[in-house]
Structure 1
Amino acid sequence: MLPWVVRRTRLPLLSLRCPDCRSGSATTGQGRFRVNANGKLLDVWLLVRCQSCNRTKKLTVHERTPVGSLDPAMLDRYHANDPDLVAATLLDQWFARTNRFALDWRGAWRLDVPPARHDEAWPVRVAVVFEDPVPVRPERLIAHGLGLSRGEVLRRVKCDIPLRRTTSAAFTFIVMSMD
């Protein structure tokens, strides 16, 4: 079985309407958190920037949270603007839903495919795994990885999930010979 891996190359853009310029995309820029204390309550925001006008917007991570309820190590990571925490926060589906944005993955991922072996017996079995929740249509991913047209993929590939439905979950498929 051949392993294919879908990897993130950068953080995805956010599909988020800017109130100033009405642009529809923003970025995390350098990936910064803002922590604000109000008495014994904390607010934590992830700062994002509009790509068109550079306006900064705050996305709520924690709101009016008692200081004692946050893990001190996690609070240190917020203060240090930990890049792994920025990525984990941004990729969290609950965070996206509560802050009303979607992720735009165009140009933010790559497919790592092992070199083709010509002595491989047909049919060829392939396992696709995702390091991050990159939403792709299996039909397009397979066409890209094999260098085939999408029509050819539909004719030659047997897959354990629907080929025309977007997924970010691991799957396997079998490529049949050209005969």
Structure 2
Amino acid sequence: MSSHLHSVLPWAVRRTRLPLLALPCADCPSERAGTGDGRFRVNANGKLLDVWLLVNCVVCDRTSKLTVHHRVPVRSLPAGLLAGYTANASALVADTLLHPSTARRHRFGLDWDGCWELHAPPVPESPWPLRFAVGFDDPVPVRPGLLIARGLGLSRSEVVRRVKIDVPLNRRTKRDFSFVLV
């Protein structure tokens, strides 16, 4: 077996939908909320604006508001950003929801189960060893061991035995990494 790495295969982790919010509902015992269609509410009071992101309970469909901007002067928001809020731009909904300060301010976590997929080319039979480069299009937190096991169709114990990697296999990561399959 040659120690020279012959191939580098690119893998990409992509978000398929927005994650659910781990946020208790005020009306029912549910602990999950979703963004639905991704809507903002913009309210003007004189020269001051309030902007909220609307989220719905997944069980009872109650709408709650997450504050994005509170009593900011109209002129302090760039025109493009304000237009995005009023048009309910889906990219702006995703950016707002995935921004760490939004989760910190409103004390919720993101539930990423079923929200991502792995795009991977087929693994060639030879030459060995193979190097894989994993890239994240969105900040999806996944365990490298689980991702590699899914992508290669191996058990996690076999992944531990056959994979050389610089990041911990059992800790969630959102950053690009690479590994070698021997």
* Cα displacement (A) at 1:22: 2.2
Q: Secondary structure at the residue paired with 2:128?
A: coil
Q: Cα deviation per residue 1:101-152 (whole Å; 9 max; x = unaligned)?
A: 111111110000112222x311110010101111111000000000000000
- State whether structure 2 residue 140 is matched by structure 1 residue 134: yes
- State whether structure 2 residue 45 is matched by structure 1 residue 38: yes
- State whether structure 2 residue 117 is matched by structure 1 residue 110: yes
Q: Secondary structure at the residue paired with 1:144?
A: helix
- Alignment RMSD: 0.7
Work out the CA distance in 2 between the residues paired with 1:115 and 1:174: 15
Match among 158, 161, 168 for residue 162 of structure 1: 168
Work out the CA distance in 2 between the residues paired with 1:71 and 1:22: 39
Q: Secondary structure at the residue paired with 1:125?
A: strand
Q: Cα deviation per residue 1:37-64 (whole Å; 9 max; x = unaligned)?
A: 1111100000000011110000010011
TM-score by length of 1: 0.96
- State whether structure 2 residue 83 is matched by structure 1 residue 76: yes
Percent of pairs identical after alignment?
A: 62
Q: Counterpart of 2:59 in structure 1: which amino acid?
A: S
Divergent runs of 4+, >3 A: none
In the alignment, structure 1 segments of 5+ residues that lack a partner are none
Q: Secondary structure at the residue paired with 1:90?
A: helix
Q: Counterpart of 1:6 in structure 2: which amino acid?
A: V
* Cα displacement (A) at 1:99: 1.3
TM-score by length of 2: 0.94
Work out the CA distance in 2 between the residues paired with 1:162 and 1:51: 34
Work out the CA distance in 1 between the residues paired with 2:94 and 2:163: 34
Work out the CA distance in 1 between the residues paired with 2:26 and 2:91: 28
In the alignment, structure 2 segments of 5+ residues that lack a partner are 1-7
Work out the CA distance in 2 between the residues paired with 1:95 and 1:131: 20
